[in-house]
Structure 1
Amino acid sequence: MNAIGENTAESIAEALALAVHEHRLAPGAKLSEDEVGEIFGVSRTVVRAALQRLAHDRLVELRRNRGAFVAQPTVKEAREVFEARALLEPRTARSAAERVTPADLERLHSHIAEEHAALRAGNAGRALYLSGLFHVEMARIADQATIEAFITQLVARSSLIIALYWQRRAALCESHAHHALLDAMARRDGARAEELMKSHLLDLLSSLDLRTVSSAPQSLREALRP
């Protein structure tokens, strides 16, 4: 067993995906099969299966005769992703507010607390990952499985987009935005939750500079350190 987890294609894909979502692996980073295999102590066949799974989820691009790379969304795709989120998430927030239970509210409180802890620790990537989970959790509460699947994919793409194009730390979901959404849900105020989600997504989009690309390189071994 490797220190990072079970030596299976599934667990390796999960470890690589988490490193992407937490911005430890930058968009455009090369994922060498040999190096990944050495880090996890597995064969290239297992690594290849993990990379195929990530390619299916559009977190990785497989380029013929060049290998695997963390995906790099274009400016056009960045705009499309946030347009799609703006169509789906406000109505989902309304539905979530109408269906939320005390247990759901407690879970969302825990997400916010973990976000704050990550920010205090200076771990912006971890905070961003947790912020995305907050949005996915709201879709789960809305009890709309198909839309939840779409939002999960869009949040994953958003993580890559923010890594490439953010121009200020507000690209992290600001604490007041999630707190306001939580308050609206606690009051079962669906209309307010919908309005807040609309403005929240606009704030996220405005925090991006869709003219430039900047991503800090990091070694694969360093990025996958447990």
Structure 2
Amino acid sequence: MSRDNITAMGNRRKAKSRDSRRDEEIYRAMSEAIVEHRLSPGDRLPEDALAEAFDVSRTGIRKVLQRLALERLVTIQANRGASVARPSPGEARDVFGARRMVECALMDAVADNMTEEDLAELRQLVRDERHAQGRGEQRQAIQLSAAFHTRLSRVARNEPMSEFIGQLALRSSLVIAVYGSTDSIGCDCGDHGEVLDLLEAGEKDKARKWMAGHLEHIERSLRFESGSEGTPDFKSIFQRRAQSGAGDG
């Protein structure tokens, strides 16, 4: 193989790697915007507007939208395009039913595998969530709640189950965005620190019951009413995020 061919192959690999990294950046930006509710359920996601906002091709945006659709965060319909998923009441109940079955069943493994490092990270998430609730930052509190459940599931050391719970937690955040009330993330649902105390003490049965009651309370707090649809200002949403991220360093 000639030097020119080797150089060309190397350039193609580099370009492909850059494209993959950019796709991942866009995926993370959009999934975070959905979870944080900067993009609301029902918001339309036109490929051309998103491509302009991210300064990429529509093909790249289409790949990201398809990935989000597989995770049930986005809905893609023929002749209507993509929009942020708006779960139906039935889907909402199914999500919480699945969470009760899976998360409660994991409590034994979580208690058996919990390390001091796990506990410290989880307690920090609880503190952050309390602060967000105290400041009235509902979107941040919802995000931190989902992060807590996802991180807790990882303690079980069962990757397929923790991935499944992570997806359910993301879908739950959409459900709460559409149907939730202040009770859905408030103290009435139980402080996550309570289940950590039970797990640390090895109270597996009580931890299972606490988790079941916690998720049942959130489901009961939902108000199944419909909302409006619209097309958000993507440049404003994602430029604001980029500026915030630059300041964090």
Q: TM-score, normalising length from structure 1?
A: 0.89
- Pairing partner for 1:207 from 206, 212, 221: 221
- Pairing partner for 1:170 from 171, 183, 196: 183
Partner of 1:112: 126
- Measured after TM superposition, the shift of residue 119 of structure 1 is 2.9
Q: Aligned pair 1:126/2:147, yes or no?
A: no
**How many equivalent pairs are there?**
219
For structure 1, list consecutive stretches of 5 or more residues without a partner in the other structure.
1-5
| Alpha-carbon distance between aligned partners in 1 of 2:21 and 2:116, rounded to the nearest angstrom | 38
- Pairing partner for 2:37 from 23, 27, 50: 23
Secondary structure of the equivalent of 1:8? helix
| Alpha-carbon distance between aligned partners in 2 of 1:67 and 1:216, rounded to the nearest angstrom | 13
Tell me the C-alpha RMSD between the 2 structures: 2.0
The superposition leaves residues 102-129 of structure 1 with CA deviations (integer Å, 9 ceiling, x where unpaired) of 1110010111122133334432112111
Report the identity percentage: 37
Equivalent residues in 2 for 1:89-100 (5 A)? 89-100=103-114
Q: Aligned pair 1:86/2:93, yes or no?
A: no
Q: Aligned pair 1:52/2:37, yes or no?
A: no
For structure 2, list consecutive stretches of 5 or more residues without a partner in the other structure.
1-19, 242-249
* Kept after mapping to 1: 8 A contact 2:43/2:229: no
- Pairing partner for 1:38 from 41, 52, 57: 52
Larger RCO (CA within 8 A; separation ≥ 6): 1
- Pairing partner for 2:89 from 75, 89, 108: 75
Partner of 1:153: 167
Secondary structure of the equivalent of 1:88? helix
- Measured after TM superposition, the shift of residue 71 of structure 1 is 0.8
* Kept after mapping to 2: 8 A contact 1:60/1:68: yes
| Alpha-carbon distance between aligned partners in 1 of 2:136 and 2:235, rounded to the nearest angstrom | 21
Which aligned segments of 4 or more residues in structure 1 are displaced greater than 6 angstroms?
A: none
| Alpha-carbon distance between aligned partners in 2 of 1:96 and 1:33, rounded to the nearest angstrom | 42
- Pairing partner for 2:115 from 88, 92, 101: 101
The change in CA–CA distance for 1:169 and 1:94 in structure 2 (over 3 A counts) is: farther
